[in-house]
A and B are shown apart, each in its own frame.
Chain A
Amino acid sequence: MKHWAIWLPLALFGLLFAVFASGLIAPGDRTIASQMIGKPLPDFDLPQAVPDRPALAKADFTGGKPKLLNVFASWCVPCIAEAPVLAELAKAGVEIDGVAIRDRTADVQQFLARNGNPYTRIGRDDVSKIQFDLGSSGVPETFVINGKGIITYQHIGEIRADQVPMILQKLKEAQ
């Protein structure tokens, strides 16, 4: 056996150790980004979630003005934290359309009564179909849709108060 070869097992051990250590110290990012950015919104036509807001379909996003598409649910805890931030965005003139995921009308109404209603339209999706269409993997998630119905940005998780300027910027870029 060659002289240098006796170091091979140690070197191999060192390499594996480094790989495992790096994985433990800095675990990989577990969020699943949608691959639909830059692509047109898939076709969908959802029924009304609450009586005082119209239903939501793809056609509502091709009117020429960028909008937010917010996926939420009354059973989703971070959505409660997001509600005042969405209200702030709505106040700034942003049109927010919502989709209530796996939700009952009465529950959505209660959620909106308690946390405010920033939505122009609310669709209802009982089987999470829109999430698979959008490449979304949880609630809440918010998509910026430009005036031609193209998805330009995906925000995973709730929008925090300090992220409002960033969202407004994304909407501006989508113009």
Chain B
Amino acid sequence: MNLIRIKKVFYQNDTLFIFILMLLLSGVVTDNFFTVNNISNLIRQSAPIGLISMGMLLVILIGGIDLSVGSVVAMIGVAFSLLSYEVYFPVAVILSIALGALVGALSGYLIAFKKMASFIATLAMMTMVRGVGYLLSKGAPVSVGSHSSDILVLGAGDFLGIPYAAFLLLIVFVILFVLLKYNVLGRIILAIGSNEEAVRLSGIAVKRTKFMVYVICSILTALGALLIVGRTGVGTPNIGIGLELDAIAAVVIGGASLFGGRGSVLNTLLGVFILSMIGNVMNLLDITSYLQQIIKGMIIIVAVLFQKNN
């Protein structure tokens, strides 16, 4: 009887258990995992992909997919770096986010109003936006200019030893958590993923909601891009290749259904940390990056198989 109850608790929180398991494993197999430096580094590394994955989660919740996020990261990085020579920090930030929103608006328009498959629309956006990034930067990385060096503080600084990036991640997390749990928009997003036609026949503006979700995803992606620029000090046009797959992997490890309607922000973030811990530990263990890719893929398969069997 007790065993059944334990099993149930375990299955309901499987992502959390995998996360804890990974945490313990990381502590055991390495000497320097649980150091302030490593943990703060881990959070700094995870924050951008964390923001992007949460955006991806919203898209996946409505039964869509956004393949353009990696390209958006590159283009926004380049755009911000170029802007940083021209305008002051807050203006550059606002313009960068607006540019991100524009990309999302375009994908959202094609998908929601022109009924294009999200896979196709965002695939096209992926190559276009990547091209824009290369065009703007003429193919070379662009360092951050003097007007907006504040970005470096955002990327590398901390408050009470906690990186600013962690605060940003936390704020977005709380907003999305509340949105999905206590807000009408969140309810509608979940319902669209569950049965889009039924939402339409309930008299709800489905198209507008879908459009908004793609805009939100791209805005979060732009925020992630800014964190990356802040950490590295450069906007790189060839960064973020394959990033969309990492984000999708994090969402899936977080137990979301790729058909939509099911998923949680908390589990998505745990998924992000599980993935980055795998990378982090293997780096600490000096495992070559080629082998890392293989192991990462295997862990994704195991994690998802495990959830499937529940």
Q: Do A and B bind each other?
A: no
